[in-house]
Chains A and B, each alone.
Chain A
Amino acid sequence: MTSEALIGLIFLPLLGACAAVLPGRLPTRLGIVAGLLPLPGLLVAVTLSVWQQGPAFLELGGWAAPLGIRLFVDPLAVLMLWMVAIIGGLAAAHAWFDFRPGSPAGQKFWPLWLLLTSAMNALFLSADWFNLYVCLELITLTAIPLIALADSKKAVRAAMRYLLLALLASLLYLLGVALLYNATGTLDLYQMADVLAAAPSAVVVTALALMTLGLLLKGAVFPLHAWLPQAHASAPGPVSTVLSALVVKSAIYLLYRLWLWGAADAVATELALMLLAMLGAAALLYGGVLALLQERLKLVIAYSTVAQLGYLLLILPMASATAWQAGTYQLLSHGLAKAAMFLAAANILHALRSDRLSDLERLDQRQPLSLFALAIAGVSIMGLPPSGGFLAKWLLLEAAWRSGHWWLLAVIVAGSLLAAAYVFRILAAALRRGDPTQAQPVADTQAIPRVQTACALLLALLALAAGFAAAPILAFIDTGLPSAWSGP
């Protein structure tokens, strides 16, 4: 049953995309519904199976690795797949209104969106380094056109820059994979882990460095982050959502797989993990400061992504179960909260026709629900209780304390302060009363479909709920610790 479910997660959106290419409204609607709606249901089956029987492999074509390609599902993969299903699903519901199936914009949008969904599912399930390269390219070639659909000069420029850098990153990654195959004779992630220690270290270290460099570029980790803010800010609303909450996470996810599963025993691992943590710290601080300086709402949120991704790298040298819980919880809550923020920002932009912070005054009267979603999501980003973000930060602080890396404590606290600053800045701008003599009539705003507002709100509430429903999620996560990590 699980095998069919896993295959369904990848192939239903894929075939849905093919349906959406066919002309007319009906095939597109059919493609969207068949490609997205069953995903949560399939995931329930998969989650239960992993919960009861533990992680599992699926050999495609029946060929055992290293001959064939395997899929691997464990709690981390399940978590990411849930995020794709829920965040992607709600973003798709939001997108339904601006990209109506059957309209010219919809005709361009939906096949790409469905292929992107399939590609992300494929990436989170794949256990083969070269297959991951193909998945990365598919994600790149579907996400970037979606950015360019905004059709503004800024969006197209951002898309072009992102494309060139993404292609370069993929080439570096591929070079690394080539060297790894030569050194180990296999492309399977988990098989390679066993033989990596025996392989010659010079080749392995170079390969790992190249792959990491490529993934850092794709994951917009400081100092290779410059492409992200404009790309995420100029994209259409639902696209920004998926980019910040999911696409950029796929690179971080691969970094986890590379260093915590694939190369856990390699020669340079400890050093590499420390270096990555330092880059994460720099990202956290730099992104936070720049977020504070921005004048446009979507840019603040985009720089916030650059910062918050830093948290994900901080856990790497800590090597404890608590650190793993912190990292996965940060993945989850940041995904939900950031998605909520971008959808709310899209609503605000649509309603007010501007997202300059100075134009946001009296937002509580003009777009109360979207502002509410923004605020709740902000609570999670700041790490205030009772949100998921709070739990993630708490676990992070605990893990840092236990591991004795004091500087990490300072960085985490500083990052949270910066987050508080830029979130409050947004809220302050939104609640400002402005000059009463120049009052914008409240009815100046464009109506937003209620579903769109609801999507943003729902995601924000989920980010909050992640703080409450932590126990089962954490218990589930605990069954899938990285091989080398143990202890509290």
Chain B
Amino acid sequence: MNDALNPSALIYLLTAAAVFGIGLHGLLQSRQILRQLLTINLMGSGIFLLLITLGGGSDGPPDPVPQAMVLTGIVIAVSATGFALALLLRWHELSDSTELDAVADADAVQDAHDE
């Protein structure tokens, strides 16, 4: 949001994009639920960084609205992670695994055997 592109902003923009991409790659790479939670958090951090970088008008005071949005986002992220970890523990108790099996990924004639 400025006439001359602020080099600092550019650096953080590229960082945000990189972190987002790395997180996405990691998400698509692992079935391990713990790692998926880590990568989702990484992607979130990338998005937050983008939000603040875009909102930082270098001429003038920083825009508080994106900062409030990211603060809310951070709190929501920790809440979601906290619940997800609890759900993971329950899944582990029931299935003795910390992965989501590939079997249930695709549409199929669902087997009626209830576990």
What 1/0 mask marks residues of chain A from 111 to 149 whose CB sits below 8 Å from any chain B CB?
Answer: 000000000000000000010001001001100110010
Taking CB atoms, residues of chain B closer than 8 Å to A140 are: 80
Task: Verify if A85 is at the interface (C-beta below 8 Å from B).
Answer: no
Contact B47 A171 (CB under 8 A): yes
CB within 8 Å for A160 and B91 given contacts A141-B79, A168-B27 = yes
CB within 8 Å for A153 and B115 given contacts A159-B87, A295-B110, A299-B110 = yes
Report the interface size for chain B: residues with CB under 8 A from the other chain. Answer: 40
What 1/0 mask marks residues of chain B from 47 to 67 whose CB sits below 8 Å from any chain A CB?
Answer: 100110011000000000110
Contact B112 A134 (CB under 8 A): no
Contact B115 A154 (CB under 8 A): yes
CB within 8 Å for A178 and B50 given contacts A137-B76, A296-B110 = yes
Q: Pick the contact of B100: A160, A167, A299 (CB < 8 A).
A: A160
User: What's the nearest-Cβ distance from chain B to residue A174, in Å?
Assistant: 6
Taking CB atoms, residues of chain A closer than 8 Å to B105 are: 226
Task: Verify if B1 is at the interface (C-beta below 8 Å from A).
Answer: yes
Task: Verify if B43 is at the interface (C-beta below 8 Å from A).
Answer: yes
CB within 8 Å for A293 and B109 given contacts A137-B76, A230-B104 = yes
What 1/0 mask marks residues of chain B from 93 to 115 whose CB sits below 8 Å from any chain A CB?
Answer: 01100001100111101101011
Task: Verify if A440 is at the interface (C-beta below 8 Å from B).
Answer: no
Task: Verify if A294 is at the interface (C-beta below 8 Å from B).
Answer: yes
Taking CB atoms, residues of chain B closer than 8 Å to A295 are: 109-110, 112
User: What's the nearest-Cβ distance from chain B to residue A198, in Å?
Assistant: 15
CB within 8 Å for A178 and B88 given contacts A137-B80, A141-B80 = no
User: What's the nearest-Cβ distance from chain B to residue A271, in Å?
Assistant: 25
Contact A181 B110 (CB under 8 A): no
User: What's the nearest-Cβ distance from chain B to residue A288, in Å?
Assistant: 13
User: What's the nearest-Cβ distance from chain B to residue A361, in Å?
Assistant: 15
Docked complex: A233-255 residues within 8 A CB-CB of B? 233
When chains A and B are docked, how far (Å) is the Cα of A233 from the Cα of B55?
Answer: 43
CB within 8 Å for A152 and B115 given contacts A161-B104, A226-B106, A299-B110 = yes
List 8 tightest A-B contacts by C-beta distance, closest first: A153-B115, A178-B51, A182-B54, A153-B94, A356-B112, A175-B47, A156-B91, A293-B109
Known contacts A181-B69, A182-B54, then 11 further A-B pairs from the complex at CB < 8 Å, ordered by chain A residue: A134-B72, A140-B80, A152-B115, A154-B114, A157-B101, A161-B104, A164-B84, A187-B65, A230-B110, A233-B110, A295-B110
Contact surface of A with B, Cβ cutoff 8 Å: 130, 134, 137, 140-141, 144-145, 148, 152-154, 156-161, 163-164, 167-168, 171, 174-175, 178-179, 181-182, 187, 226, 229-230, 233, 290, 293-296, 299, 356
